[in-house]
Amino acid sequence: MNERGYQLLQDTVERLLRRHATKNLTKILNKTHPADIAHLFRLLNDRSARQLFEILPEVESAPLILSEMEPRVRIDFFHFVDLKRAAEILSDMAYDDAADLLGDLPQELRDQILALMPDKDTEEVAELLSYPEDTAGRIMTTDFLNVPETMVAHEAVHEVRKAAERENVFYLYVTDGQKRLVGVLSLRQLVTAPDDTPMSGLMTRDVVKVRVDTDQEEVARMVSRYDLLAVPVVDHADVLVGIVTVDDVIDVLKEEATEDMLKLAGTSEEEISSFSAARSAKVRSPWLLIAWIEGVIAVNIIGAFEVQFNAHLQLFAALAAFIPIINGMGGNIGTQSLSITLRGLATHRIDPKHLWRVLSKEVRVGLMLGIAYGCLLGVVGYFLKQDVMLGVVVGIAMCTNMTIAALVGTFLPILAVKLKIDPAVASGPFITTSMDILGVSLYFFTAYFLIVRLAQ
């Protein structure tokens, strides 16, 4: 559905909601694609969304709609639905989708709903929920086709045909007597095989697989690198327990890209998925506080120089006018280096082992740009204040500041990776404000040394 389609759907649904035409609404919802209804909820205002939630339990595709819906939106559903009906809907979801949804609910509500679901479903979903967030175990589905290694090709074809009635079959996973994963077979390999060949004679033994505790980012990387449609998940004894399918990998990639970009700015996904201003302010606060403290340090440093320049207050005032441009350019180039490095690390295009190669390149970039913009600023400084030394000082400050900023923006995230901490802790606010401190210190020190001290 395109934008016009959604507009039309939204208009129709809103009109029917105003008329309380529940029957017509249910009919429309039943014939619309579940993903489109899930998307529609984002377009509606709170009141309309609430009204629509009240009808949702009557819609056949409710399990699919809720699976597709964004966490922050669907959580509201549970305010309007009878818990028994909620449990029924969750039972009709794929286990991984049900686990994903329940994982976002408050513990108490989650337990109540789990208790109302059929035992078999409760067990499966609870097992998925027992794996930590962001691991393969949490996002895998336990619905997959596996065949014993002794099965022959024509029997396997029959199994595939049977399984295809229920689910998408991508690959056949072959297990041994202990349910351990021993091989994999594509449908292509299967259909071209003679009828009586056993799986063990057809399968690829070198299986790309992940463990239940593998980070979801690593899972996504595997699927993407080997162009897979699904990757098998094994437990610590190599027993096949699930598969992660490509649609879940796409969700992971989108989620991680968002996370990386927001961390860089010193905020998080939590903010984007909330409508509350207070909550957003809270999420952003920590990095802003650190930046604020660094800012106060900068105030004190400049204050200390002010005392040194007491006999040259005119000069100090002239120098002060250049603070924003020197800090700003340092911050800008630092953030550029930081983004390049973070993204390079995330996509594995920068290898932390090549630290020196990466650093030396960045330093050269910083130097080139620093010299260019430093010289330009030197000329401007001279013309504005008719003072050669002032021009020299602002030029030097700009150049050193830009070079150091490029270096720091590159080095900190790589250092973090080497220390095995999240490289995004070296976030934008931290880097730019640290560069502010270093920048003003070097700037006023250079000015003091070259102008005040040399003149004495």
Question: Of 417-456, which residues contact its own copies (CB under 8 A)?
Answer: 428-429, 432-433, 436-437, 439-440
CB of 115 to its own copies, least distance (A): 30
Q: Does 257 bind its own copies (CB under 8 A)?
A: yes
Among 199, 203, 365, 451, binds its own copies (CB under 8 A): 365
**Closest CB to its own copies among 290 and 450?**
290
CB of 435 to its own copies, least distance (A): 9
**Closest CB to its own copies among 99 and 264?**
264
Residues 139-158 close enough to bind its own copies by CB under 8 A: none
* Number of residues lying near its own copies (CB under 8 A): 114
- Tokens 């077979």 belong to residue: 185
Please, are residues 109 and 136 in contact by the beta-carbon 8 Å criterion? no
Q: Does 415 bind its own copies (CB under 8 A)?
A: no
Q: Does 281 bind its own copies (CB under 8 A)?
A: yes
Question: How many CA atoms does the CB half-sphere of 192 hold within 13 Å?
Answer: 7
Q: Does 375 bind its own copies (CB under 8 A)?
A: no
Candidates 22-30, 117-125, 176-184, 258-266 — which segment interacts with its own copies by CB under 8 A? 258-266
Site string for its own copies, 295-324 (x = CB under 8 A): xx-xxx-xx--x--x---xx-xxx-xxxxx
**Closest CB to its own copies among 20 and 279?**
279
CB of 290 to its own copies, least distance (A): 10
Residues 55-74 close enough to bind its own copies by CB under 8 A: 68, 70
Q: Does 47 bind its own copies (CB under 8 A)?
A: no
CB of 47 to its own copies, least distance (A): 13
Among 167, 195, 196, 422, binds its own copies (CB under 8 A): 167
- For residue 437, give every residue at least 6 positions away whose Cβ sits within 8 Å of its Cβ, in sequence order, or none: 294, 297, 298, 301
